[in-house]
Amino acid sequence: MAKYFRKKILLAKIETTYGTDPTPSGAANAILTSDLTIQLMQGQTVQRNTDREVLGNELTYHVAPYTMLSFGVELAGSGDAGTAPAFGPLLQACGFAETLTASTDAVYVPVSSGFKSLTLYYHQDGLLHKVTGAMGTVTFSLSPGGIPKMNFTFTGLRNAPTDTALPTPTLTEFQTPIPVTDSATPTFSLHSYSATMGGFNINLANEVVYRNVVGNEAVHIVDRAPSGDVSIEETALATKNFHTICAAHTTGALQMVHGTVAGNIVTLDAPVVQLLQPTYADSNGILMLNMNLALIPDAGNDELTLTFT
C-alpha cells in the first residue's frame, strides 16, 4: 500500500542521558513544523579496492551513518509570560540555556559547555525513524509581510526504522504567529538608530560535528560564528552614516521586538554587532542599504539573547 509524503509528524524531547531515548509522545512532545525533511544515511562511504581480473564496481560500505533533519518552526511566544514556548527543547539542543521567571519571561542565551541533546521521532505515514543524541543549529528570519520563522537543522545518531503507527499530536501550545508589520513589530534598532527595516536574518551558525571513534559515537557542538544580514532604508548621512560605521569597524547593539500582546512578544538582542559589506538595492523604488552582520560576544555567551514575554 502506498505511503503519503505529506503525512509527517515530528516529536522532540530533551535527553537525560546522552543518546538514550526518553520516549517522546504525541501528547507531550509534538512539534508544529513546516518543510520537514530527513536525510536518512549521511556520512562517509568506502569501497573495496581489491585486485581483480574483471572490470566493475565493488561493494561500498556506509561507515557509521548518521541522520540529519531540517524543518521550519513559526516564531511566537508561549501564550503565557514566564512559560517556555513549545519549541524550547529545540533551542536548548542548539546550544541555548533556558531560564524561566514565573509570570515574567522565558530567556534563552547561548552556552559554551553543558550542551543538551534531543531524541527526535520522525514519523512518515507508518514509518518511524528515531534520531537520538541530536544537536543542531538555527536561523531566524523576520521580514516585513512574512511570518517570523526559525529554520532548524539537527544531526543525530541513526537508528533502524520501524513500522509504527502515526501518533496523534497535541499542538495546542503552539501560538498563532503574527506577521511582521509596522504595527506588530514596534522596535527595530541598529547601532542606536531606529531603522526602517526591509529584511532581517540571523544564523546562529553552530559548528555541529558527528564523531565516531573507537569507544564513542556522538554529535558535538564545537564552535559557533553567529552572522546575519539586514536590509534598511538608506537615509541622509547626517542622520546615520552606516558607511563610516562599516569602514571604521565600529560595533553597536541590535534589538528587534516583535509582538505587542503579553504572552506573544519576542525580543532579539545582540549587544555587539559589526556591520560588513554594505551594498545598495531597490525595493519598490526605495533605496535600501543591505549589510552583513557579525554577532560578537560582549561578556561571553551573550551574542544573541531571545526573550519571550
pLDDT tens readout for residues 202-222: 999 999 999 999 999 999 999
* Non-local CB neighbours of 75 within 8 Å, separated by 6+ positions: 140, 142, 148, 149, 150, 177, 258, 266
Rg (CA), the chain: 22
Answer whether residue 1 shows pLDDT above 90.
no
Question: Mean pLDDT in the chain?
Answer: 97
Pairing relationship of beta strands 251-258 and 45-47 according to DSSP bridges = unpaired
Find cell 562599516 and name the residue: 246
Give me the residue label for grid cell 539573547: 305
Contact 199, 230 (CB under 8 A): yes
Can you give the pTM of this predicted structure?
A: 0.95
Average pLDDT over every residue of 18-29: 98
pLDDT tens for 87-140 read 999 999 999 999 999 999 999 999 999 999 999 999 999 999 999 999 999 999
What torsion, rounded to 10 degrees, do the Cα atoms 158, 159, 163, 169 define? -70
Q: Is the pLDDT of residue 228 over 90?
A: yes
